[in-house]
Amino acid sequence: MRTAPTILHLDMDAFFASVEQASKPSLRGKAVVVGGLGPRGVVATASYEARVFGVHSAMPMGQARRLAPNAAYLVPRFNLYKSISERVMELLRALSPLVEPLSLDEAFVDLEAGGVAWDEPSARLAGVKLRADIRAVTGLRGSVGLAASKMLAKIASEEAKPDGLVVIEPGTERAMLGPMSVRTLPGVGPATGDHLRRAGITTVEEIVEAGEDELVRLLGKAHGHGLYAMALARDDRPVVAEREAKSVSVEDTYDVDIHDRTRVGLEVQRLAERCVRRLRGAGLSGRTIVLKVRRYDFSTLTRSETLRGPTDDPAVIREAAARLLDSVDTTGGVRLLGVGVSGLADYTQEDLFAQAAGERAVAEGPVEEHAAAAAEEQPSLAERRWPAGHDVRHTEFGHGWVQGSGLGRVTVRFETPDSEPGRVRTFRVDDPDLEAADPLPLVLRGPDGGDGVPGAGSQAVSSVPASLPKSWSGSGGGAATSRP
C-alpha cells in the first residue's frame, strides 16, 4: 500500500445546479433544484442555497417544493452536463493515464502513475492546479481530496466541500477516521448503520475497538473483514482506468399510470429505439434484451431474452422487447418502463438481422410504419413543450431560458452566461418567433479559439453560502475550504 497522498478524488460541487447557475445570471446565489418536475419526479441535484432548506438529491420533488417553495425548479439538460463533464475528464487524463470516472461529476486519479506527484507537496500542487484549470475551462468549482487510498481520498473530498482541497497526510489516517460516523465508510448504508448502532457501534473507532471477530459475527465474513480493514484505513483498491460497461438502458417514469395496453406497447418501442441510439453512440452491441416494468402497486418485474449473438439492430431489439412485454401482466396500470441491453460487445453479427422477422425486406415494413407514425407525432406550434430551464431563442430578443409555461403561455428570461440578469417576457406557446436553442458556452473563448478566463457573468458564479463554517484542514487554493 502506498504511503504518499497521490490518489486524487474530484467531486464537482452541486454539479447540475452549478451549471444552471453559471448559465443563468439571475440564479446565482439563489436556491436551484434540478430534477423531474412531475408528480413523481425526484431531485437530481440541489444547489447549496437549496440545501440550507433541507433539500437533497433523491428527495421527492413534491417534498422539495414544500421545503423550498421559492427555489427555481428546472428540468435537467443532460447533453450540456455531459459536454462539460467531458472537458473536465480531459483535464484529468492530462494528469494521468489512470482516471476512473464514477459519474459525470466525480472521478479518481492516480497522480503517481502520471508522474505528476510523488509526495505530499507535489500532490497538493497538482490538486491546486487542477481546481484552477477546471475553473478556467468550465467556470465551475470542484472539491479535491488527496490521500494514499481511494477510500481516504473520497472522504477527503467530502471534507473539502464545497470548493476546497483537503490532503490526508500519511500517519494521520487513523486519528482522522476515529471519531467519524460508521456511515462514512464505503458499504455502510442505512441498514448496516442501524445494525451496528443497535450493537453499540456508531463511530469508526468503535469498529476497531469491537474487533474483527465481532464484526464478522455481526455482518458476516466478507462484509465484516472488509469493514474492519477500512476502519484501520486499509484500502488497496487500484484506480482502474476503464470500467467495462455491463449494460446500456433507458427508462421513463410516468406522471399518470398507463392503463392502455396499446400505449404501453408504443412506449416500449420508443424506449427500445432510444436504447439503440445510446448503444450505437457507444459503439456497442449486446446479446441480452431486458424489459423492466414497474406496476401501479410499485411491484417491479424484469424479463430478459438472450439472442444468438450481439446486435445493435433496432428491429431486433424492438421485437425482442415486444415479446418480453407479452409475458407481463400490466392490468391495473404501469408507472415505469425500461428497456436495456446487456452482454455487451464492440462488434455485431450481421446474421442476426434475420431475427428481425426472418428477412431484411420483411423487417423494413414495420420500421417504415414506425417512422411514419413518429413523423405524424411531431408537435404543432401550439403543442410544443417548453421545459423549465431549457434554452430558447427569440427573433427579436435573442437568447434566453424558460422560466415556466402553462395555460397556453411561456415565460422567458433573456440572458446569457456573461450578461447581467435579464428581463422577463411572456409569449404564446405557438409564437413563431420563439424556438428551442442550444446552450451557450459557460466560459468565453480567447481570441485564438482556446479557453479564456470566465466571462463577467461566470466570474461571479458562487454556489457557496457565506454562512458555512470554515474547515479544520485543507487548502482552498485561494478559496475557503468548507464542510457541507
Q: What is the pLDDT of residues 334-361, one digit of tens each?
A: 999 999 999 887 554 443 333 333 333 3
- Which residues have a catalytic role annotated? 106
Range list of β-strands (E), 259-408? 285-295, 300-311, 334-345, 391-394, 398-406
CB 167 within 8 A of CB 157: no
Give kind and range of the element (H or E) at residue 10. Answer: strand 7-12
pLDDT (mean) for 118-129? 95
Question: Residue 391, SS3?
Answer: strand
CB 383 within 8 A of CB 393: no
pLDDT at 311 over 70: yes
At 64, the pLDDT band (50, 70, 90 cuts) reads very high
Which of 108, 137, 111, 121 lies closest to 2, judged by CA? 111
Q: What is the mean pLDDT of the chain?
A: 83
- 40-54, 125-139, 379-393, 443-457, range with the lowest pLDDT: 443-457
Specify the pLDDT at position 476.
41
Specify the pLDDT at position 385.
82
pTM: 0.70
Range list of β-strands (E), 316-397? 334-345, 391-394
In degrees, rounded to 5, the angle at the alpha carbon of residue 353 between the alpha carbons of residues 352 and 356 is 105
C-alpha cell recorded at residue 49: 442555497
pLDDT, tens only, 174-220: 999 999 999 988 878 888 888 899 999 999 999 999 999 998 998 88
**More confident site: 370 or 105:** 105
pLDDT (mean) for 92-118? 93
Instruction: Tell me how crowded residue 342 is: count the other CB atoms within 10 A of its CB.
Output: 16
At 246, the pLDDT band (50, 70, 90 cuts) reads confident
At 450, the pLDDT band (50, 70, 90 cuts) reads low
